Amino acid sequence: MIRLKNSAQLALMQESCKLTVAALYEGASIIAPGVTLGEIDLKIRKFIEKHGGVPSFLGYAGFPKSSCISVGDVVIHGIPGNQVLKDGDIVSIDVGAYLNGFHGDCARTFPCGKISPEAERLIQVTKDSFYAGLSKACEGNRVGDISAAVQTAAESAGFSVVREYIGHGVGQDLHEAPDVPNFGVAGKGPRLYAGMTLAIEPMINAGKKEVYQMPDGWTVRTMDGSLSAHYENTVAVTRDGAKILTEL
């Protein structure tokens, strides 16, 4: 069942989303060669808790940390620990925070030091593909319009779209209906209505689309070892178009 949020609920959700994105950038502020992923995660957790929130990911289906931090060929669900960042890495940080009865969810990919031109382009195209999808998140459209726009933007730039992991509704629960794939056919899927809140989150690979999960049960890597980037926002569908809730 798709849950529509009223104006009062959206106002509460806006606060959880603001906390989420602020926590993400708090963690990203210390990205540098020599920093561990665990240090970034701890900074994110302390920031969320300091501001009265709860890390959405901590303990979710057994996930052991407060954020997912994925480096290089790790697509999503990287478990932050003792891994040390090095110059040239690209670092995807995915954060959720629960406040006022609602979750926010967002992700960004950041450079660590000087990165390759290919990596820079991958990060930019992943962001662009999100905004292509966002432009279709309008009342009366369908989920497939978002999906097709993301896919077209990524593939026309020569990159590939991960199939196994997708966006989703978000609100009182971290994952709600509907599913929001990053690939698909325009005009298909559930109709979009004002009050829907969606996590639109392109996961784009520099190489082929195939991925695999590591034995830890969480970490997902590209099959061919190519770089991957992630860009996500929580978005509200309104009568005046799409509104990004996870903006500073």
How much is the pLDDT for 55?
Answer: 98
How much is the pLDDT for 232?
Answer: 99
Please state the pTM of the whole predicted model. Answer: 0.98
How much is the pLDDT for 120?
Answer: 98
153-160 long-range CB contacts below 8 Å, 24 or more apart? 153/125, 153/128, 153/129, 154/125, 154/126, 154/129, 154/182, 154/202, 154/204, 157/121, 157/125, 157/128, 159/122, 159/125, 159/126, 159/204, 159/205, 159/206, 160/204, 160/205, 160/207, 160/208, 160/209
* Sequential pLDDT tens for the chain (248 residues): 999 999 999 999 999 999 999 999 999 999 999 999 999 999 999 999 999 999 999 999 999 999 999 999 999 999 999 999 999 999 999 999 999 999 999 999 999 999 999 999 999 999 999 999 999 999 999 999 999 999 999 999 999 999 999 999 999 999 999 999 999 999 999 999 999 999 999 999 999 999 999 999 999 999 999 999 999 999 999 999 999 999 98
Tokens coding 163: 């199939």
How much is the pLDDT for 27?
Answer: 98
How much is the pLDDT for 81?
Answer: 98
How much is the pLDDT for 191?
Answer: 98
Cα separation of 222 and 146, whole Å? 24
